[in-house]
Homo-oligomer: A and B are copies of this chain.
Amino acid sequence: MKIFLAQQNYHIGNFEANTNKIIAAIEEAKKQGGDLIVFSELSVCGYPPRDFLEFNDFIEQGLACIDRIRQVADTIGVLVGCPSRNPKIEGKDLFNSAYLLYEKEIKGIVHKTLLPNYDIFDEYRYFEPAYEWNVLTFKGKRLAVTICEDIWNLGDDPLYRICPMDELIKHQPDIMINLSASPFDYIHEDGRKGIVRRNVVKYNLPMVYCNTIGSQTEIVFDGGSLVMNANGDLLTEMPYFTESMASVTWNDDGTFTDGVVRTADTIHTADPLPATFEPLKNIEKIHSALILGIRDYFGKMGFKKAIVASSGGIDSAVVLALACEALGSENVSALLLPSQFSTSHSVSDAEQLSKNLDNHYDIIPIENVFKAYEGALQNVFSGLPFNVAEENLQSRIRGAMVMALSNKFGSILLNTSNKSELATGYGTLYGDMAGGLGVLGDLYKMQVYAVARYINRDKEIIPQNIIDKAPSAELRHDQKDSDSLPEYDVLDPILYQYIERRQGPKEIVSIGNDPALVTRILKLVNNNEYKRNQFCPIIRVSPKAFGVGRRVPIVGKYLS
Which residues of A pack against B, CB within 8 Å? Answer: 11-14, 17, 46, 48-52, 54-58, 88-92, 117-118, 122, 124-125, 128, 131, 156-161, 215-217, 296-297, 300-301, 362, 364-366, 368-369, 371-373, 375-377, 379-381, 384, 387-390, 392-393, 396-397, 399-401, 403-405, 407-408, 429-430, 434, 436, 502, 504-507, 530, 533-537, 548, 550-560
Q: Is the CB of B552 within 8 A of A51?
A: yes
Within 8 Å CB of A366, what residues of B? 376
Given A392-B404, A393-B407, 11 other A-B residues pairs in contact with their CB atoms under 8 A: A12-B555, A13-B557, A51-B552, A89-B156, A89-B157, A91-B159, A362-B380, A364-B376, A389-B407, A389-B408, A429-B434
Q: Is the CB of B161 within 8 A of A91?
A: yes
Minimum distance in angstroms from A25 CB to a CB of chain B: 20
Q: Is the CB of B58 within 8 A of A12?
A: no
Within 8 Å CB of A301, what residues of B? 554-555
Within 8 Å CB of A393, what residues of B? 400, 403-404, 407
Which of B17, B124, B556 is close to A13, meaning CB atoms less than 8 Å apart?
Answer: B556
Within 8 Å CB of A118, what residues of B? 125
Inter-chain CA distance A122–B116, complex, in Å, is: 12
Q: Is the CB of A400 within 8 A of B400?
A: yes
Among A88, A156, A380, A392: residue with most chain B CB under 10 A: A380
Query: Given the known A-B contacts A161-B90, A401-B373, are A12 and B51 also in contact in the complex, defined by CB atoms under 8 Å?
Result: no
Within 8 Å CB of A502, what residues of B? 54-56
What are 15 A-B interface contacts by the 8 Å CB criterion? A11-B555, A13-B557, A14-B556, A89-B157, A117-B125, A216-B555, A300-B555, A362-B379, A371-B372, A388-B407, A392-B403, A396-B396, A396-B399, A403-B430, A534-B534
Inter-chain CA distance A1–B507, complex, in Å, is: 46
Within 8 Å CB of A125, what residues of B? 117-118, 122, 551
Q: Is the CB of B160 within 8 A of A90?
A: yes
Inter-chain CA distance A430–B92, complex, in Å, is: 39
Inter-chain CA distance A338–B48, complex, in Å, is: 44
Which of B52, B56, B158, B387 is close to A553, meaning CB atoms less than 8 Å apart?
Answer: B52
Within 8 Å CB of A364, what residues of B? 376-377, 380
Q: Is the CB of A50 within 8 A of B551?
A: yes
Q: Is the CB of A557 within 8 A of B369?
A: no
Minimum distance in angstroms from A518 CB to a CB of chain B: 12
Within 8 Å CB of A371, what residues of B? 372
Inter-chain CA distance A92–B404, complex, in Å, is: 49
Within 8 Å CB of A551, what residues of B? 50-51, 122, 125, 548
Within 8 Å CB of A157, what residues of B? 89
Inter-chain CA distance A400–B396, complex, in Å, is: 6
Within 8 Å CB of A11, what residues of B? 555-557
Inter-chain CA distance A19–B381, complex, in Å, is: 43
Within 8 Å CB of A558, what residues of B? 12-14, 52, 58
Inter-chain CA distance A555–B48, complex, in Å, is: 10
Inter-chain CA distance A122–B49, complex, in Å, is: 17
